[in-house]
Amino acid sequence: CSTEELAIYRNASKIIPVRLIATAINMVILPLIVKKVSEKKIDSAISVWNKSLANSLKVVSVLTFALIVFAPEVITFIYSSSYVSGTDVFRVYCVSYLLGCTYWGTMLNATGKTKCILYCSVISCVFNIVLDIILYKLLGMIGPAIATVISQFVMSYAQIAFSKKALNIKKMLNIKNVTLIIVKNLVIAVPFAVMHCFLKANTNLNHVVLAFVIGGIWMLTFVLIEGKKIYREFGTLNRQDEVSEQ
């Protein structure tokens, strides 16, 4: 790995603060979930977690797909066109933002099973190290990026498995709802991606400016479709939090 490749990888792998959305939401819902778990209202606690996950995923997924579509322009805007060769690495890391739509260890924190969180981190770290070596030899610079995404998925899966065991339940994550949200935002992304490719190829407009304009229209479309629903759902969660404090 040359110094130039290392510099490109380092910049392409830097995290865009999309996950701050999930962090902020988790800070709001964690006290409510802890209270419900302490009162043995497990079904209610899981419902709150799934609702917060769904709303966070709606926002995170649309931002993630936009970053993937406009990856070259994002890299050019943040760094410079010299790092555009790291576009594929950047896009792979963007996939991990979907896993950052929630804190998968919320229920472990709520039940006081903090050691399980440590175990999950160790498992993920071991997976990452092993896969880094294997995938770098097989795929080159993009290999460690793929390894990171896989290891994060493993950690999320492990935290859910430990959470189900701690709560003595068989099902926790509403996989169907998660899948529908991702597919819906992916379908919405397609026409904007096609428009972006077409205009880049057939106009002399600055690519970064073009990305901002199309991206702005994309985000406005999302707000018009999902804005009221998300606001209403968060209002419901806040009211539950207020009731639990009384």
Please identify which residue in the block is written with the tokens 């790291």: 86
Q: Which two tokens stand for residue 195?
A: 């428009």
**Is the pLDDT reported for residue 15 higher than 80?**
no
Nearest to 99 by CA among 51, 29, 148: 148
Taking alpha carbons only, the member of 132, 57, 136, 142 closest to residue 99 is: 57
Report d(CA 123, CA 154) in Å as an integer: 8
Tokens representing residue 200 in the block: 């880049």
CA angle (102 as vertex; 31, 116 as ends), nearest 5: 75
pLDDT digits (tens, 9 = 90+) for 94-148: 998 999 888 898 899 888 888 898 999 998 999 999 999 999 999 988 999 999 9
Give one DSSP letter per residue of 199-222, joined into a string.
HHHH--S-HHHHHHHHHHHHHHHH
The string of DSSP letters for 2-53 reads -HHHHHHHHHHTSPPGGGHHHHHHHHHHHHHHHHHHHTT-HHHHHHHHHHHH
Q: What is the pLDDT of residue 209?
A: 94
Query: What percent of the chain stands above pLDDT 90?
Result: 48
Q: What is the pLDDT of residue 109?
A: 87
Provide the pLDDT confidence category of residue 82 given band limits of 50, 70 and 90. Answer: confident
pLDDT for 3:
67
Neighbours of 39 (CB within 10 A): 11
Give the per-residue pLDDT at 239.
Answer: 60
Geometric angle at alpha carbon 102, from 101 and 104, rounded to 5°: 135
- Full-model pTM: 0.87
pLDDT of 77 above 60: yes
Integer Cα distance of 244 and 125 in angstroms = 37
Question: What six digits make up the tokens of 236?
Answer: 């419901």
Each residue's pLDDT tens digit, 194-218: 999 999 999 888 999 999 999 999 9
Give the pLDDT score at 157: 92
Query: What is the structure's pLDDT at 135?
Result: 93
Which candidate, 124, 130, 131, places its Cα nearest to that of 147? 131
Amino acid at position 149, single letter? V
User: Mean pLDDT, the chain, as a whole number?
Assistant: 87
Per-residue pLDDT averaged across 69-75, rounded? 93
Rounded Cα distance, 215 and 246, in Å: 43
Instruction: Show the tokens assigned to 183.
Output: 């597919």
CB distance 156 to 183 below 8 Å = no
E-assigned strand segments in 116-217: none
**Through-space distance between the first and last CA atoms of the chain, rounded to whole angstroms:** 59
Reported as a single tens digit per residue, the pLDDT across 173-193 is 999 999 999 999 999 999 999
